[in-house]
Copies of this chain bind each other. A is one copy, B any other.
Amino acid sequence: MQLTEIRIAGFGGQGVILSAIVLGRAASIHQGAYATMTQNFGPEARGGACSAQLILSPTAVLYPYVSRPDVMMVMSQEAYGKFAAELKDGGTLIIEQDLVRVSELKGNIKVYSCPATRIAEELGKRMVLNSVMVGFFTAVTQLLEADAVRKAVSDSVPANFREVNLKAFERGFEYGLTASATYPPQKEVETQLAYSQE
């Protein structure tokens, strides 16, 4: 692992902060690395975009301020509009497929999208959306060991929702493994082919 700056954003109630806590705990408690998490208070009262900044590092983090994220995970269109431009050239953008439409993205950005809301609904609990996204994140970024994140999910959710959150993690993780193996997505490949035939 090298020092990695991450922003996770969405709207209040989606588990943005919990996602950051899970990933921070996975890195630090279960994998021997270091992490800091910064959260803003207030958006849940004001209706704005909710966001968390997370830094994962092999050494102690002296400066917890994220300026140009290497990875951004976005779960609402408003958050996309507010934060996407911060993403580092060469960075990774992870989106909830049905909630975010990507536009005006500059630079060489890898985009991975996951239908986490639909997967969570299939599991019967829309609120586990964030655990699906955490599983997807784990598979596509390969920053953290899957077992470390599993343990952190297990530690971080209420006992009566542990099982469904772990299922959600697995579903997101598997979806992410497939997305990584088939990157870039078929649609973009088709677009490139169409261009090359012009």
Contacts and interface: CB of A to CB of B under 8 A. Distances in A.
Contacts of A39: 24, 36-38
28 contacts: A24-B39, A24-B41, A25-B41, A27-B41, A28-B41, A28-B45, A29-B41, A29-B42, A29-B44, A33-B42, A34-B40, A34-B41, A34-B42, A35-B40, A35-B41, A36-B38, A36-B39, A36-B40, A36-B41, A37-B38, A37-B41, A38-B38, A38-B39, A38-B64, A40-B61, A53-B64, A63-B65, A65-B65
Q: Which of A33, A40, A45 has the most CB of B within 10 A?
A: A40
Max count, chain B CB within 10 A of own CB: residue among A41, A44, A64, A65: A41
Interface residues of A, number: 22
A34 B48 CA distance: 13
Tell me the interface secondary structure of chain A in the complex.
Answer: mixed
Contacts of A64: 38, 40, 53, 64-65
Number of copies: 2
Given A53-B64, A64-B64, A64-B65, A42 B38 contact: no
A160 B116 CA distance: 33
A168 B44 CA distance: 27
Counting from the closest, the 6 A-B pairs by CB-CB distance are A28-B42, A28-B41, A35-B41, A38-B38, A24-B41, A29-B45
A76 B24 CA distance: 24
A35 B42 contact: yes
Nearest to A25: B41
A40 B56 CA distance: 10
Contacts of A35: 40-42
Nearest to A39: B37
